[in-house]
């Protein structure tokens, strides 16, 4: 039985992650439990994007969708909010035993690839998507896979001093 945890306050300077939803897993649909956070401006509370943390190590998560998915709204891009958000989620991922942690992105999404690098992830490979996946049916064909080992990571959360 899966138990969601209290992530505590997740803040880095002008960025705060606010828990918006906890989605239970559904084995029949191959969904894993997921935390969904809004990226908000810490002072104004304006939403800047979203980030999900998926708790599970199914083949689909590890190979194609990753443990973390994020999006930053257009007016807020270029400030490394996605990479900083990923760093804020590392302690929660570690507490759920996710090690290594995987992020995937499309090969031509250079901003997302840079996000992975800034958050300390290492490029592993580009894989072809199986034709029976939702992503393939949406027109995607490949994913870059990035990995970060958490057992030896430094703890960057909640101190307001991320180097990004």
**Domain with 127 in it: what CATH number?**
3.40.630.30
Output 3 or 1, whichever has higher pLDDT: 3
Look at the chain and count its residues: 164
Output 151 or 118, whichever has higher pLDDT: 118
Domain presence at residue 117: yes
What pLDDT, on the 0 to 100 scale, is given for residue 1?
80
Domain presence at residue 100: yes
Domain presence at residue 162: no
What pLDDT, on the 0 to 100 scale, is given for residue 53?
98
User: Mean pLDDT throughout 2-11?
Assistant: 96
Domain presence at residue 50: yes
| The token pair that represents 58 in the structure block | 């199914």
Q: Would strands 101-105 and 15-23 be described as parallel, antiparallel, or unpaired?
A: unpaired
Contact 71, 50 (CB under 8 A): yes
User: Mean pLDDT throughout 139-163?
Assistant: 75
What pLDDT, on the 0 to 100 scale, is given for residue 28?
80
**Rounded-to-integer distance, Cα 29 and Cα 128, Å:** 22
Contact 149, 100 (CB under 8 A): yes
Domain presence at residue 2: no
Q: Binning pLDDT at 50, 70 and 90, where does residue 160 land?
A: very low
Domain that holds residue 139: 10-148
Domains of the chain: total:
1
pLDDT of 153 higher than 60: no
Contact 87, 156 (CB under 8 A): yes
Sign of CA dihedral 117, 119, 122, 128: negative
Intra-chain end-to-end CA distance of the chain, in Å: 36
Domain presence at residue 71: yes
Domain presence at residue 26: yes
Domain presence at residue 58: yes
| Phi, psi of 41, rounded to the nearest 5 degrees | -70, 125
Which secondary structure element, helix H or strand E, spans residue 103, and what is its range? strand 101-105
**If you average pLDDT over every residue of the chain, what do you get?**
93
């Amino acid at each position: 039985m899966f138990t969601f945890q209290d992530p505590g306050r997740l803040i880095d300077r002008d960025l705060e992650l606010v828990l918006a939803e906890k989605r239970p897993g559904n084995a029949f649909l191959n969904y894993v439990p997921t935390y969904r956070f809004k990226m908000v401006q810490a002072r104004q509370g304006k939403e800047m994007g979203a980030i999900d943390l998926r708790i599970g190590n199914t083949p689909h998560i590890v190979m194609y969708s990753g443990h973390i998915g994020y999006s930053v709204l257009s007016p807020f891009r270029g400030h490394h909010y996605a990479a900083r958000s990923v760093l804020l989620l590392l302690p929660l991922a570690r507490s759920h035993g996710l090690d290594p942690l995987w992020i995937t992105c499309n090969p031509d999404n250079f901003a997302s690839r840079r996000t992975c690098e800034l958050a300390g992830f290492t490029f592993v490979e580009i894989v072809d998507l199986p034709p029976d996946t939702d992503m393939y049916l949406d027109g995607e064909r490949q994913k870059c896979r990035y990995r970060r080992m958490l057992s030896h990571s430094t703890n960057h959360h909640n101190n307001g001093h991320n180097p990004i």
